[in-house]
Structure 1
Amino acid sequence: MTQRRKVVDVVAAVIVQPDGRFLLARRPDGKPYAGYWEFPGGKVEAGESLLHALARELHEELGIEVKHAYPWLVRHFDYEHASVKLHFFRVVAWTGEPHGKEGQLLAWQTPGSVDVIPLLPANGPILNALELPAILAISNIAEMGEEPFMASFASALEKGLRLIQLREKSLSPLELERVAQRFVALARPYGAKVLINADVRLAEATGADGVHLPSSALMSLEARPQIGLVGASCHSSDELARAVELGLDYVLLGTVLPTRSHPGGPALGWDAFAALIGDYPLPVYALGGMSPTHLETAWSAGAHGIAMLRGAWSGRSGLNPTKATG
Structure 2
Amino acid sequence: MSESKPVISVVAGALMHADGSFMLGSRPAGKPYAGYWEFPGGKVEPGETPLAALVREFREEMGIEVSHATPWLTRTHHYEHASVHLRFFRIWAWQGTPQPHEGQSFAWQTPGHHSVTPMLPANDPVLRSLQLPDVLQISCVGECGRDHTLEVLAQRDNPGWVIVREPQKSREQLADFVAEVADIVHPKGGKLLVNTDPAWIKGWPVDGLHLSSQRLAALDERPPHLAWVGASAHSSAELARAAALGLDYALLGHVQPTASHPQQAALGWDGFARLLQDEIPLPVFAIGGLQAADLDTARQHGAHGIALMRGAWQ
TM-score range, shorter chain: over 0.9
What amino acid sits opposite 1:149 in the alignment? T
Output the CA distance in 2 between the equivalents of 1:186 and 1:39: 36
Q: Deviations over 1:44-102 (max 9, x none)?
A: 00111111110110011011000100000000001112110110000000000011111
The higher-RCO structure (CA 8 Å, 6+ apart) is 1
Output the CA distance in 1 between the equivalents of 2:197 and 2:254: 23
State the match for 2:308 in structure 1.
Answer: 308
Q: Is the 8 A contact 2:144 2:310 kept in 1?
A: no
Greater CA deviation, 253-262 or 197-206? 197-206
Q: Deviations over 1:193-229 (max 9, x none)?
A: 1111123244332120010000011011011001110
Greater CA deviation, 198-207 or 288-297? 198-207
Q: Deviations over 1:166-213 (max 9, x none)?
A: 111122221111111111121111221111112324433212001000
Residue 214 of structure 2: which of 209, 213, 216 is its match? 216
Residue 195 of structure 2: which of 194, 197, 201 is its match? 197
Q: Is the 8 A contact 2:137 2:163 kept in 1?
A: yes
State the match for 1:234 in structure 2.
Answer: 233
Output the CA distance in 2 between the equivalents of 1:8 and 1:175: 53
What amino acid sits opposite 2:272 in the alignment? F
Structure 1: give runs of 5+ residues left out of the alignment: 315-326
What amino acid sits opposite 1:97 in the alignment? T
Greater CA deviation, 193-202 or 73-82? 193-202
SS in 1 for 2:232: strand
Output the CA distance in 1 between the equivalents of 2:187 and 2:70: 32
C-alpha deviation, 1:15, in angstroms: 0.6
Q: How does 1:38-57 map to 2 (within 5 A)?
A: 38-57=38-57
C-alpha deviation, 1:108, in angstroms: 0.5
Q: Is the 8 A contact 1:200 1:210 kept in 2?
A: no
C-alpha deviation, 1:280, in angstroms: 1.1
What amino acid sits opposite 2:251 in the alignment? L
Q: 2:144 matched to 1:137? A: no
State the match for 1:320 in structure 2.
Answer: none
C-alpha deviation, 1:116, in angstroms: 0.4
Q: Is the 8 A contact 2:111 2:127 kept in 1?
A: yes
Q: 2:18 matched to 1:15? A: no
State the match for 2:114 in structure 1.
Answer: 114
State the match for 2:103 in structure 1.
Answer: 103
C-alpha deviation, 1:2, in angstroms: 4.4
State the match for 1:321 in structure 2.
Answer: none
Q: Is the 8 A contact 1:203 1:209 kept in 2?
A: no
What amino acid sits opposite 2:83 in the alignment? S
Q: Is the 8 A contact 1:203 1:210 kept in 2?
A: no
State the match for 1:78 in structure 2.
Answer: 78
What amino acid sits opposite 2:50 in the alignment? L
Q: Is the 8 A contact 1:135 1:161 kept in 2?
A: no
Q: Is the 8 A contact 2:255 2:286 kept in 1?
A: yes
Return structure 1 stretches of 4+ with deviation > 6 angstroms: none
Greater CA deviation, 214-223 or 195-204? 195-204
Residue 182 of structure 1: which of 156, 180, 183 is its match? 180
Output the CA distance in 1 between the equivalents of 2:255 and 2:107: 37
Question: Could you tell me the percent identity over the aligned residues?
Answer: 51
Q: How does 1:260-275 map to 2 (within 5 A)?
A: 260-275=259-274
Q: Is the 8 A contact 1:195 1:203 kept in 2?
A: no
What amino acid sits opposite 1:203 in the alignment? I
Q: How does 1:122-133 map to 2 (within 5 A)?
A: 122-133=122-133
Output the CA distance in 2 between the equivalents of 1:233 and 1:44: 33
SS in 2 for 1:205: coil
Output the CA distance in 2 between the equivalents of 1:287 and 1:19: 24
Structure 2: give runs of 5+ residues left out of the alignment: none
SS in 1 for 2:52: helix
What amino acid sits opposite 2:312 in the alignment? A
State the match for 1:324 in structure 2.
Answer: none
Q: Is the 8 A contact 2:5 2:81 kept in 1?
A: no
TM-score, normalised with respect to structure 1: 0.93
Output the CA distance in 2 between the equivalents of 1:172 and 1:110: 39
